Structure 1
Amino acid sequence: MIRTQKYIIYFLIVTSYFLLVSGCKDKVKPGTAEVKRQVVTGVTLAEVHPSQVDEYYETSGTVKAKTISIVASRVMGTVTSVKVKEGDRVHAGQVLMTIDDRDIVQRVKAAEKAVEAAKQNKSLSDITYQRYKNLYDEKAISQQEIDQIETQKKVSDMEYERAMAMLAEAQVNHGFTRITAPISGIITEKKIELGSMAIPGIPILTVEDNSYFRIEANVDERLSGKLKRGMPVDVIIDSIGKQVKGRISEIVPAIDPMSRTFLIKVDLKMPSLKTGIYGKVLIPEGKKESILIPQKAIVEKGQLVGVYVVDNKGITTYRLIKTGKKYGEQIEILSGLSSGEKIIVGGVEKAVDGGIIK
């Protein structure tokens, strides 16, 4: 038994020796290994350098039509017709809907009758006054009698004017039964339907003038003394991917004590916008030195943002960077790159981390 165990131990020692010797044959000396790198071709390189760029204060706001008219009825009554729907384009003075006018029509007729009666009474008073005036000139009647007739004439004149005013009021009220567009634009909201009761002062339609828009944004109080009306600013509308020029048209002088900001309104000449769109306002504050690279050089890998940097040996390395503001087709680099380094700006889809450019 003991002899068998010796043979087994001897066999294991010999086997371990041969494995050790065979493993050592494949080792190489330090510093002599060659790394095989993938060759990268068809790319464009550029050397990065700092440059002077505009420094902006950035805030956000909401785009609104410059003129938004809330339409409400001036009289109470049942809606008898609705001639528009949301999205329709209308012109100023166009009839949008009508309200039951039967009671007001009767008031107009009554006022017209009152005017006719007052006119007849005025005519009679004029004739009577002229007759008594002739008698007074002939010394046939007393001063008191002519004064009485003259007063009756004045009263009839005032009654006629009062009747005319009541007729005009009735006609104006009748006109209120035809609700018209106060401005030219687009119907953006309709809050009433055929047969519903229109109540004075309750909004029923919204009309927006979509020829001009503006964006309203809150600005930090430190800029309260620096902004002026007419000052140019840049506005970025991310939803449509456009950057437009605007001018500050209004500055609200009151500062909100909670947010420490004040409101500005920037006019935009861009009819393709819509009320409610989110936008960014860039207010120029001066110049600064910064590194800019083309946005097409940026490579995103999941949540990582980086660029391919090329060293003196042509080896590419994917390096993480932190980006800042956009300047047209270029983007600011806050960290990750230094002046004089080379990056791949064209054909980035062909680049690989650890590759070599030949």
Structure 2
Amino acid sequence: MKFTFVSMLLLFLGSALSAETLEVKLEPVTEWKPVYGEIEARNLLPARTRISGTLVTLAVTEGDRVETGQVIATIEDDKLGVQIDAMSANLDSLKAQQANAEAELTRGKQLLERGTITEQRLDALQTAVDVLVGQITATEAQRQVIRRQVEEGDVLAPEAGIVLAVPVSQGSVLGMGEAVAQIGSGGVFLRLSIPERFAGAFQEGDEIAIEGGAGQGTGTIAKLYPQIQGGRVQADVEVTDLDDRYLGLRLPVRLPVGERQVILVPEHALSRSGGLDFVTVDTPEGQVGRVVIPGIGITRDGTVWREVLTGLEAGDRVVISNE
């Protein structure tokens, strides 16, 4: 019996030495609002046609990456080729007339030296040559304009990015200015739609938590839009290494919308028996077990703490085992 008493005493002393007390108090905890964010491209730019005609080649499809100035499609207008042929034939005719007029002018100069024609007639011959030269120059310029229009049949990517949509197909007849492809450029960000009652709870520069999916971690509110639509505030969030494979992907996000005062105890200070949660409280009468209702868990400096909803008050001393 003596041995048993001594053993129990040593066990009690060892337990007392391996435990410490923590005076609980009200502490501020950030209150988070769960919402969903959607991955979007920073810029949405259409690649438009510069002439009207038939889409003869289409070199991209959804998901392709393009560079600035890359040819993604070609538009052809058969009428432009006919106009070029007509102007080329007209130029040949004008040049033949020019050669004849210059020959007439040369003969006129010779006849003027002999006194056969007048100065007025020679001036008329020179004017005819000058008129033809002007017509040839104007026709060549017009042909160059049409050739430039043919070159503008190439549809170019306005910026480097990813092709999001191609609303046309090869063989389509398109007008000038129609979009051949929609290109997302400038990287991606997370766009949030937040209930208006929380509009004043956060500001640009606040950090948010991303709970899962691509870009898991944290982000920073980069822009708040001033216009409220449908009872919601739009916000853009910068996220490092955000996955841009799927634009439009929705991610669960938590926003800091305020603070509240709570009582926290370490996770290992809780024990469970008979379906109830207990903590040991050090009182003037000794250590007693008290029934509590724990809430959410919060990690601080690598230690998990639990919110205590009921059962403890500020100033209570909770016994915490060091084992």
2:263 to 266, 283, 291: 291
Determine whether 1:270 maps to 2:245.
Answer: no
1:164 to 140, 144, 151: 144
Gaps of 5+ in 1: 1-38, 348-358
Q: Max radius of gyration: which structure?
A: 1
Determine whether 1:215 maps to 2:195.
Answer: no
Q: Is the 8 A contact 1:59 1:219 kept in 2?
A: no
The count of residues paired between Structure 1 and Structure 2 equals 284
Percent pairwise identity: 8
**1:78, distance to aligned residue in structure 2 (A):** 7.1
Q: Which residue of 1 aligns with 2:4?
A: none
Change beyond 3 A, Cα 1:48–1:189: farther
SS of equivalent residue, structure 1 residue 239:
coil
TM-score if structure 1 supplies the norm length? 0.53
What's the C-alpha RMSD, in Å, of the aligned pairs? Answer: 5.5
Q: Which amino acid aligns with 2:293?
A: L
1:47-62, aligned counterparts within 5 Å? Answer: 47=22, 49-50=24-25, 53=28, 55=30, 58=33, 60-62=35-37
1:254-333, aligned counterparts within 5 Å? Answer: 254-256=227-229, 258-259=230-231, 261-272=232-243, 274=246, 275-280=248-253, 282-283=255-256, 289-293=261-265, 308-312=278-282, 316-317=289-290, 319-323=292-296, 333=307
SS of equivalent residue, structure 2 residue 313:
coil
Q: Which residue of 2 aligns with 1:244?
A: 218
Q: Which amino acid aligns with 1:157?
A: T
Q: Is the 8 A contact 1:215 1:267 kept in 2?
A: no
Change beyond 3 A, Cα 1:245–1:69: closer
1:120-131, aligned counterparts within 5 Å? Answer: 120=92
Q: 1: CA distance between counterparts of 2:301 and 2:84? A: 69
Q: Which residue of 1 aligns with 2:85?
A: 113
Gaps of 5+ in 2: 1-11, 110-117
Change beyond 3 A, Cα 1:160–1:82: closer
**1:288, distance to aligned residue in structure 2 (A):** 6.3
Q: Which amino acid aligns with 1:255?
A: I
Determine whether 1:183 maps to 2:154.
Answer: no
Summarize deviations over 1:5-32 as a string: whole Å, max 9, x none. xxxxxxxxxxxxxxxxxxxxxxxxxxxx
**1:84, distance to aligned residue in structure 2 (A):** 5.5
Greater displacement, 160-169 / 66-75: 66-75
**1:282, distance to aligned residue in structure 2 (A):** 2.9
Change beyond 3 A, Cα 1:296–1:112: farther
Q: Is the 8 A contact 1:66 1:209 kept in 2?
A: yes
Summarize deviations over 1:131-190 as a string: whole Å, max 9, x none. 97x98xx943598887776565544433322221111112222x24xx7685234x5667
Summarize deviations over 1:237-294 as a string: whole Å, max 9, x none. 2124943131423x322233x52x4322222222336542224353576x76543455
Summarize deviations over 1:200-230 as a string: whole Å, max 9, x none. 5888766555954233333536746x976xx
Q: Is the 8 A contact 2:270 2:277 kept in 1?
A: yes
Change beyond 3 A, Cα 1:70–1:293: farther
TM-score if structure 2 supplies the norm length? 0.58
Determine whether 1:64 maps to 2:34.
Answer: no
